[in-house]
Structure 1
Amino acid sequence: MNTPIAQKVQAPDIAAQVAYAMRIMGVAPIPRNYELFYEAYIGSSPKLTREVAALGNRATQEELDQIGRQFFGHHHRAEAIDGAHSKLSSQLEGLLQLLRQEQTSLESYNQLLDETYSRIANKNNTSAEIIRGAINVLSTATGDTISQGKEMVETVTQRSREMDVVRRELDEYKRIANTDSLTQLSNRRAFDDRLAAIYDNAMLHNVTALVLADIDHFKKINDTYGHPVGDKILASVGSIIRASVRKDVFIARTGGEEFAMIVEGNNQEEVMTIAERIRTTLEHTPFKNSKTGVNYGPITISLGLCMASEADGPAELYSKADIALYCAKNGGRNRTMPFEDGMKKDFSKSWLIYRK
């Protein structure tokens, strides 16, 4: 059966084609569905493409999630995160209950102290009765309170340990959910959040840049050597990019053979230097099969960048960086282009499609 994925309608932009396919198939525009269709469309796994195409024109969410679990280990981390949130909430509620009990205990202690004071203040009681009654009341109240206090400390300590374990578990789930399994860089989900956060601080716009990078002729690499080789090259490119920049530079694989970097604390000239260092390092890195001697190279990338100060928001910033990338590709590839007014592209990807 012909489906939008199988037909691969010719359009100037992959993101638009994926969105179109999802829309006419009635697929909910949520991140995990987009990732599934994107990877199926670009052909990262022929088996995945066949599985999605076999769903026909009206795939259910259950069917899509089943394929997602099969091909993407991180696909349903959101469920694990929700579970960890629930456990953390439960632990917190238990701790609050203990504190309420302690408050009740202290209120009872105060009542006993009031009673003791009343006996001491009663002029009809003898001194011996006053002292004896006060000692009995205070001994009982203080003993109970100390015992309950020790138990409370031990219980609160135990609950705190349990909450810390759940917190670490939740942090790990979030890390996995935001990590691309192939390159171990951040993924599209993490990139979306980081890109949106750029405009939280207007003071940094002049020294913050978005850099988009795309491996040149990657489809030819996959077609010539196969997807397993393509995957290894993607992982190697990701490692080279990571090793070529400071640790605080945010790097993500945003889909297929495209990477994104958010560089903070540098002006445009400095960002250009960083991008060129990545490009030349990759250009001079040999890509060979150590066993067979097959040379897969040279592997090159094209890069486009835009400063945050040149855009009014994340969507425009993404669009302008993508236009610069397009111009780098159109200008011969293996080069870095900063965005400039006057650059035109008939159809640029919209970052907003990933925010649904």
Structure 2
Amino acid sequence: MSNPISPERSVGIRVATAMFQMGIEGLPRNYELVYEAYSGQNSDLTKEFVAIGKVKSQQALDELGRKYLPHHHEATVLSKTSDHMRHQMASFIDLLEEEKTSLNDYGKIIGEASRSISVEGEIDRETLVKSIQQLSQATEQQTSKSQAMAAAAQQQAQSIEEVKSEIDSFERMKFVDPLTGLANRRSFNKAVAKVYANPDLPMMCGLGFAQIDGFSGLAASGESSGPDSLAGDHFVRHVGKLLHEVNRNGEFVARLDKDRFAFLINSAEESEIMRLIDGFRAGIASRPMISQKNGRSLGNATLSFGVAMSTLANSATELMSFAEKAMVMSAKNGGNRATLYSDKAPTGASRDWMIYRP
């Protein structure tokens, strides 16, 4: 009997087929762009991808990639920023040169006035008045120029701060899921790799995988319009918002794809990790999902959780495999529960905790 094709693998097949049919070159950045468009993680990206038309040039794809997947076009972003900074520095140097010239001219006027006043003998009234007028005019002009210089310098500083903010934002968005504002898979890959950065002394933590129970039914309920890949965005946003609200300890929470989430909790105690997982579950169930069509309550969202401790695994791959098995066990047993990959029950385990025995 053949093995069923997983949803993730199904999307992968669709992506490869679509790229072949549309004549899209098999570049890594193209694959991720098409994958994101078909998986429905970003409805705006999907709409703009479809709007390109049947013939999708590499230029059009790259323009879309720069907007939604900037990490593939970092060189372009940095080049643009570098050009902007060169312009800012050139303008600032011009201002300094202008200030230097103005100060030199002001110094000459002061010197001339000083010499005319310090001449030995009696100073006639006309010379004194003329010197005072010249000095007064030069001082007013210099004051005006200094104020303009200060304003221009402030504007330059603000412009530089905006460039810095753009770079910081670019760096942050490389690792943020656009639909929920949580960390994305790229960020999760980095985080889980750090757990075993020192294989002889892995970080003491727990990895949790979770998926929304009954998500396929929700996505097919007609709550979202457009292609199938867009259905369910409303519910994913709802869960993402609640995860933000309940995550008061600042634990690492990421959206992996579709309705799947990941949690990395820094603790060596299984009971503490499961207590925090229960907190996430309670938070998600604290507010009902509301229909976009008629405003009616669709009930509270629930998740199937699978948790594994880093101490049980020898690598990131093994840790993710253990958490995945535990999550599948939760889903198979009705969902709305957490399954711990362990051979013993933690102290204080609630009744709906399950133990996946390796």
Question: TM-score range, shorter-chain basis?
Answer: 0.5 to 0.7
Counterpart residue number, 2:269: 267
The answer to whether structure 1 residue 211 and structure 2 residue 208 are counterparts is yes
CA contact (8 A) 1:183 1:253 kept: yes
Q: Which amino acid aligns with 2:5?
A: P
How big is each residue's C-alpha offset from its partner over 1:214-256, in whole Å with a ceiling of 9 and x where there is no partner?
A: 1111121121142268323211211211222244311111111
Map 1:239-318 to 2 at 5 A. 239-289=241-291, 292-318=294-320
The answer to whether structure 1 residue 75 and structure 2 residue 72 are counterparts is no
CA contact (8 A) 1:207 1:266 kept: yes
Q: 1:316 to 1:86 in 2, by over 3 A?
A: farther
How big is each residue's C-alpha offset from its partner over 1:136-193, in whole Å with a ceiling of 9 and x where there is no partner?
A: xxxxxxxxxxxxxxxxxxxxxx999987654432211111222222111111222222
Counterpart residue number, 1:227: 224
CA contact (8 A) 1:22 1:28 kept: no
Distance 1:262 1:172 in 2: 24
Q: 1:290 to 1:172 in 2, by over 3 A?
A: closer
CA contact (8 A) 1:204 1:265 kept: no
Q: Which amino acid aligns with 1:84?
A: L
Distance 1:166 1:189 in 2: 25
Gaps of 5+ in 2: 94-154, 226-230, 344-354
Moved more, 308-317 or 194-203: 194-203
Q: Going by fraction, where is helix more abundant, 1 or 2?
A: 1
Distance 2:286 2:323 in 1: 25
- The secondary structure found in structure 2 opposite 1:277 is helix
CA contact (8 A) 1:209 1:271 kept: yes
Q: CA deviation at 1:344?
A: 9.6
CA contact (8 A) 1:279 1:302 kept: no
CA contact (8 A) 1:185 1:251 kept: yes
Q: CA deviation at 1:331?
A: 1.4
CA contact (8 A) 1:44 1:256 kept: no
Counterpart residue number, 2:35: 37
Map 1:144-163 to 2 at 5 A. none
Counterpart residue number, 1:115: none
CA contact (8 A) 2:209 2:324 kept: yes
- The secondary structure found in structure 2 opposite 1:207 is coil
- The secondary structure found in structure 2 opposite 1:324 is helix
Counterpart residue number, 1:12: 5
How big is each residue's C-alpha offset from its partner over 1:194-222, in whole Å with a ceiling of 9 and x where there is no partner?
A: 22222224587462121111111112112
Distance 1:29 1:309 in 2: 38
- What RMSD over aligned residues (CA atoms) do the two structures have, in Å? 4.5
Q: CA deviation at 1:13?
A: 1.8
Distance 1:88 1:299 in 2: 46
Same amino acid, percent of matched pairs = 22
Q: 1:161 to 1:48 in 2, by over 3 A?
A: closer
- The higher relative CO (CA closer than 8 Å, separation ≥ 6) is in 1
Distance 2:15 2:164 in 1: 36
Distance 2:45 2:203 in 1: 45
Correspondent of 2:192 among 185, 190, 195: 195
Distance 1:80 1:300 in 2: 38
Q: 1:191 to 1:16 in 2, by over 3 A?
A: same
Distance 1:276 1:282 in 2: 10
- The secondary structure found in structure 1 opposite 2:299 is coil
- The secondary structure found in structure 2 opposite 1:265 is coil
- The secondary structure found in structure 1 opposite 2:326 is helix
Q: CA deviation at 1:80?
A: 5.2
Number of residue pairs the alignment of both structures matches: 274
- The secondary structure found in structure 2 opposite 1:297 is strand
Q: 1:173 to 1:310 in 2, by over 3 A?
A: same
Correspondent of 1:186 among 174, 183, 188: 183
- The secondary structure found in structure 1 opposite 2:284 is helix
Q: Which amino acid aligns with 2:38?
A: A
- The secondary structure found in structure 1 opposite 2:181 is coil
Moved more, 310-319 or 195-204: 195-204
Q: 1:292 to 1:87 in 2, by over 3 A?
A: closer
